[in-house]
Structure 1
Amino acid sequence: MGLVEQLPAAWRYLLENQTEFVELLTTHLQLVVVAVVCAILVAVPAGILATRRPRLKGYILGTGNVAQSVPTIAIIFLVFPVLGIGFTTALVGLFTYAILPILTNTIAGIEDVDASTVEAARGMGMTDWEILKQIQLPLALPVIFAGIRTASVITVGTAYLAFFIGGGGLGLWVVVGIKLFNMPQVLAGAIPGALLAIGMDSLFALVERRLGGEGLQNASAAGA
């Protein structure tokens, strides 16, 4: 039986297990939101620092590249001896993997601001902090948000690995369904995650476009 034919059965499985589904989905969302927020709090300041301290830029990007190159499941099992099993251990792995897209986009967004715009602001007597706050960050915001958008969508998928460390999430249904050859259960866990990723990507794309217009207006007002 093909996947399309399995969809009604998957829907029935979801309806029959609504309470468990809500719990798994809630945990999945918590993992994604907390991991991405923590990544933002680390990556954005680190990206700003990298643009202000060129000597540190290589080290900061190198750290981000290493974090991205190590598989999430490997990070989870590396921190397992320290934190044990559960939500927190899974969160560390997801957070680490979400850093690089936000970090690189923060650096690129700030550095791509037109040099003549920065020089004009400096010629008006604005300090480096004022230039960063009123010119560079508003103009870089859409690019930074694109990194957050990428990190969020990636984290929705990698959060399925939380099951292997007792972190919960929709991965429970997917993995258990595969072990039991229960395709409706697999689909009931996989499809909501795919829809969640698509929904988040579409929502963030809309916000990103709006931020682009607002950032340009704010930077123009500051430089006027």
Structure 2
Amino acid sequence: MSWLTDFFGDPANWSGPDGIPARLLEHLEFSALALVLAMLVAVPLGLLIGHTGKGGLLVVVTANLARALPTLGLLVLFVLLLGTASILPVIIPLVLLAVPPILVNTFEGIRGVDPELRDAAYGMGLTGGQVLGRVLVPVALPLILLGLRLSAIQVVATTTVAAYTGLGGLGRFVIDGFATKDYAGVVGGSVLIVLFALVVQIVFMLVQRATVSPGVSQRLITPKKGRL
């Protein structure tokens, strides 16, 4: 407890380029950029494959293989290949980490929509794009948001490795703390990372509550007749 008091009570940790606000902003920038890039790749691809039904098995297998990739190993590899003059060696592994949960959940969400609902939409004269945008996406939105939330939390936690390349973020407190035996910094930085991840989770829960239709939410928690 004294380490936390020493860390958060030190005025030097609250100002300057190495202070908590600056490191928090850097951590947020890295995480947000990686998540946005992953969304731009995974969401459209998941919607397309889920809607057409083509390539679903390939998506699941590829995503599971991607999850097994060691993020730190990829970070070291890209640092060796690209150097440390930019943030690309950090962003690329984070994007690769974030894509699989978003892609799989988007695909599964679209594919899992009741076929009768899909057929009814086509029967009303809606085009394929209209069925996707007006019917499938709203029903699949809880699963899509779940994939985004899982990826966001993983990215926030893993962005800590950015410190290995000399870049900023909250991981600097942990890495520099171990290097200088400043264990107050290690503990304080770890607490900040955990709190950041919890805030991200709360934000996504609020977004889901605000965007998901109450009817869809009720349908998710109400068991269908005939099932245990």
TM-score band w.r.t. shorter chain:
0.7 to 0.9
Q: % of aligned pairs identical?
A: 31
Alignment map for 1:205-224 (pairs within 5 Å)? 205-213=205-213, 216=216
Q: What is the Cα deviation at residue 215 of structure 1?
A: 8.2
Match of 1:101 in 2: 101
Alpha-carbon contact 1:139-1:215 (below 8 Å) kept: no
Shift of residue 209, structure 1, vs aligned partner: 2.0
Contact 2:109/2:143 (CA < 8 Å) preserved in 1? yes
What TM-score results when the alignment is normalised by the length of structure 1? 0.88
| 1:167 CA displacement | 2.7
User: What secondary structure, in the 3-state scheme, does the structure 1 residue paired with 2:213 have?
Assistant: helix
Instruction: For structure 1, list consecutive stretches of 5 or more residues without a partner in the other structure.
Output: 218-224
Unmatched segments (≥5 aa) in structure 2? 218-228
Residue type at the aligned position of 1:17: N
Structure having the larger proportion of residues in helix: 1
Name which of 6, 13, 16 aligns with 1:9.
6
CA 1:157 to 1:198, structure 2 compared with 1: closer, same or farther past 3 Å?
same
Query: Shift of the alpha carbon at 1:176?
Result: 1.5
Compared CA separation, residues 136 and 55, structure 1 to 2 (3 A) = closer
Partner of 2:63: 64
Partners of 2:46 and 2:213 in 1: CA distance: 22
Aligned to 1:78: 77
Change (3 A) 1:54 1:110: closer
Tell me, in whole angstroms, the C-alpha distance in 1 between the residues paired with 2:4 and 2:170: 17
Contact persistence 2:59–2:104 (CA under 8 A): no
Greater CA drift, 203-212 or 95-104: 203-212
Residue in 1 that maps onto 2:46: 47
Cα root mean square deviation, aligned: 1.9
Counterpart in the other structure of 2:222: none
1:71-116 Cα shifts (integer Å, max 9, x gaps): 1111112222332124221011111101111111101211121111
Structure 1 contact 28–159 (Cα < 8 Å) conserved: yes
Aligned partners of 1:87 and 1:166 also within 8 Å: no
Aligned length: 213
In 2, Cα distance between the equivalents of 1:119 and 1:45?
22
Deviates more, 1:38-47 or 1:120-129: 120-129
Query: Deviation above 3 Å: which 4+ runs of structure 1?
Result: 52-55, 214-217
